[in-house]
Amino acid sequence: MTEVETSIATAPDAGGDPAPVLRVRDLSVSFHGAERTVHAVDGVSYDLAPGEVLAVVGESGCGKSVTSMAVMGLLPPTARIGGSVTLDGQELVGAPEKRLRSLRGRRLSMIFQEPMTSLNPVLTVGRQITEVLRRHQGLSRSAAGERAVELLGIVGIPAPRKRVDEYPHQLSGGMRQRVMIAIAVACDPAVLIADEPTTALDVTVQAGILDVLRSLRDRLGTAIVLITHDLGVVADTADRVLVMYAGRPVEQASVDELFASPKHPYTRGLLGAVLRPGSRSAGGRTRLNEIPGLVPDLREQPAGCGFAPRCASADADCLTSRPPLRQVGDSHLIACYHPAGPAGADPSRPDASKGTVR
Ligand SMILES: Nc1ncnc2c1ncn2[C@@H]1O[C@H](COP(=O)(O)OP(=O)(O)O)[C@@H](O)[C@H]1O
Ligand SMILES: [Mg+2]
């Protein structure tokens, strides 16, 4: 076992955390087209304990959705997937589609980034919920109908008995997102992946939806992977944070540790929005900061750190050799030769022995 493997596999505190329900190890995804290959995800690992909320953050295009679709087994055939994803100890990478289908919606669910394109416009919302219940739980038509009404109530839809017979176009964006959540949680999944579930919604609707997710976690012990651009959401909802850059994990820590002591220059750049006074945008949301420069082209895998071209601390090593993910504190991992704060010299750095670390 490598150093990183050991540190990820160890529960965040020594207080006897339950075994992880979802375990992702060294996940990689590349898309092979006729003309080009895109390395969308490289080396993502995390554990998710029951009831735990992991926030995944990073700029657009850094591989958050592709990572989640890989976990769900929903990538197109052009995707090549490496590494391992286990749910309740069962390997999902390379598992037969039939097995994945029986897990999806039952043990493992996802709220997609685009609620409008994920709902079926010609079926009532009730029908879309009862279909899942009947398929996975074998409920009778009337029992499934009752449960659908109950679920709409749980996700905060007023007058659920009336709404259950409506079509998606009759509902507002926020209500459609709640229907998506009702479908996703209909069978009490062990793991729920929410891909920017509130990005398109206004602040009050957003708060309501986050309340729904938190109450699910509290009531059912649902483990949640929450992909978001919103630092307020991360601070309020997550237990741990995974920061991704250009398809790779660059920092992972508990939410308190990450906000108190962000170490990767990229994370520090993202958090600039909360560190700088007056940076709250309209509506009270605190968005991730804009960092000058462009996310690299994922068709080429850089030899060194993907962030080096945008990083004020980068030196020659950063451009030529990729910093490995390493432990810098209690379940705090970073991939950087120049971490901020008192982390000290990086022993994995090529010239660390020469004592030239800043
Ligand atoms: N089906 C696909 N074929 C080729 N490239 C893809 C496909 N889906 C996503 N990508 C690429 O993978 C990278 C990561 O995308 P994504 O995971 O959607 O980013 P985000 O972090 O914004 O969710 C992007 O460069 C995107 O263009
Ligand atoms: Mg996305």
Residues with CB under 6 A from ligand 1: 31, 38, 40, 58, 60-66, 76, 78, 298
Task: Give the torsion sign (CA, 26, 22, 53, 197).
Answer: positive
The pair of structure tokens assigned to 180 is 């998506």
61 Cα: distance to centroid of ligand 1 (angstroms): 6
Amino acid letter for position 97: E
Task: Specify whether the CB–CB gap between 55 and 255 falls below 8 A.
Answer: yes
Q: Read off the pTM.
A: 0.86
Mutate-to-test residue for ligand 1 from 38, 57, 69, 78, highest number of ligand atoms within 8 A of CB: 38
226 Cα: distance to centroid of ligand 2 (angstroms): 11
Rounded (10°) angle between helices 125-137 and 141-154: 120
How much is the average pLDDT of 273-290? 50
The per-residue pLDDT for 330 is 85
Residue 70: is its pLDDT beyond 90? yes
Strands 248-254 vs 223-227: parallel, antiparallel or unpaired: unpaired
- Per residue in 26-61, pLDDT (tens digit) is 999 999 888 888 999 999 999 999 999 999 999 889
How much is the average pLDDT of 333-358? 61
The three-point CA angle 168-75-24 to 5° equals: 110
The per-residue pLDDT for 154 is 87
> If pLDDT is split at 50, 70 and 90, which confidence band does 158 have?
very high
Atom number of ligand 1 nearest to Cα 75: 1
Task: Specify whether the CB–CB gap between 250 and 334 falls below 8 A.
Answer: yes
User: Where does the chain show beta strands of DSSP type E?
Assistant: 22-32, 37-48, 53-57, 79-87, 90-91, 108-111, 191-195, 223-227, 240-245, 248-254, 326-329, 332-334
The per-residue pLDDT for 288 is 67
Closest residue by Cα to residue 47 from 14, 18, 69, 73: 18
142 Cα: distance to centroid of ligand 1 (angstroms): 41
Residue 6: is its pLDDT beyond 70? no
308 Cα: distance to centroid of ligand 1 (angstroms): 21
